[in-house]
Structure 1
Amino acid sequence: MSIRKTTAIAVTAIVASLLTPGSAQAAVPTGTTEVTWNVRTSWVNYVTNPAWYLGFGQGTVTTTASNGGTSSPAPGSATTTWGGTYDESAYSYDFGVASDTGSPRTTTLQGGLDFDLSAHSIDISLTNLRIVDNPSGDEKLRVNGSYDPLSGGPVTLTNVDAFTIAETASGGVYAVTLTAAGAAIFNGGSNGSYAAGDQFGSVGFS
C-alpha cells in the first residue's frame, strides 16, 4: 500500500472520529464503586422542610440503598448552602455500584430513593437505578418504581428513562436533567411546573 493511500485512510479515520456525535464523556469511569446523586435542593426542601412552602414540607426522603446510603445534610434540615436559585443541589445521596456490564454499558446502583409528602399526595418510589451509556449523546438514568398521580391509581414505572446525564462535567460533577417522562413523575402526572430539560441535580463518581 502506498504512503499516500495509507495517509488518506488515516486522515479519513481521524475525521470520522471527530464527526461522530457525542463521545460519552459522562460514561461512568472504570472502577467506580460509588455514585453520588446531588438532588435538586428546592425539590427536597419542598418535600421535607416545613419552612420552605406554607408548612407543607413535613414529608420524607428515604434512601433504600442496601449499602447504607447516606445523605448530607440530613433531609428535613434547613440547608446552609442554598443561595436562592431553584436548581441548586445541596442534598447528596450515595449509592454503591451493584454491577457494571452489558452493551450498552449499564451501571446498576444499589437501591433507590423514596419521596413521600402525604399533604400533597406525593408518593414517588425510584428503584433499580441504572446509568445507561449512550455513545451518541447524553447518558440515561433509568428507573423502575411507581408514583401516585393527582387522579387515578398508582402508576408503575418499568425501565423509564426519567433523567439524562450531561456529557461534560462542571466542578467534577455531571448535570442531571429531567426527561418528559421524568417531569411527569414529579408533576404527579400532568399537574406541575416541571418540564423536560429542567435541572434536577448532578451526579459524581468515586
Structure 2
Amino acid sequence: MFALLLPAVLATGNTAPVSPVPPVTVDFGARGKVAVPRPAPQADFEAQLRQVLMSPRRDAAAVQFCWDIPKYAFCRVMLARPGQSVLTLKNSDVRKLLWTPDGKYLVGAGANTVRLWNLVGGVRAHVPGLEPNQPNERTVTRDITWLWLERDKLCVAMVSDVFKTSGGYALRQRTSTTLYQLPALRPLKVVGLPAGGTGEAPCSVPHTEPQTPPS
C-alpha cells in the first residue's frame, strides 16, 4: 500500500508554481512607459538588472542585465524607446556604458573593445591601440579601466601587461589612453602613461570612476 501511495504523494506534494519574473518598467514621463522583458536564465542563473541608463534627451534608455555565473560573467544591453520595440543590442557584453551628450549614441566598453550603437541598433567597434613595444617586448591587453567623455571626444584608458618575447612573467603593466573622434569612433591618438602618474595624455585621467548620466 505504501509503495502505491508514494508516487501520488510526490506528484501532489509541496511543489509550488514558479512565478514569472516581471519585466523592468522604464518611465519616460509624458512619453509613456516601456516594459523591458528580462532575458532568459543562463545555466540556471537569472539575469540581474545592473542599471537603467537614460539618455540626455530622455527619449531612450539602455537597460543592462548581467549574469554573475562562477568563472563566467557576462552582460547584455537592451535599448528601450517609447513607441518602439525593445532592441537587444548586438555584441553588448560590456561592463561600462555612457551616452554621448546629444543622446544619439550609446558607448560601451567590454574587456578590450569599445563599441558605439545608434538608436536603431547599428554598431561600430574598435580595439584601442597601444604604443609601439620596445625591442624584444610584447604587449598583452588586459582590460579597459576607464571610459569617459571630454567635450565631443571619447577617452578610453586600458591596462596592458608587457612581456619579453622570449616568454616568462610580465615585466610590468602599462596604461594607454586612446582619444576617439565621435561618432565615427576613429582613433586620433594613443598615449602611454607613466606608472602612477597622469602623464601627457590626450585626456585628463580621472582619479575615480567617471560619473554616468542620471537614470
- Confirm or deny a common fold (TM above 0.5): no
Which structure is higher in helix share? 1
Which structure is higher in strand share? 2
Q: Which has the higher contact order (CA 8 A, sep 6+)?
A: 1
| TM-score, L = length of structure 1 | 0.28
Tell which structure's C-alpha radius of gyration is larger: 2
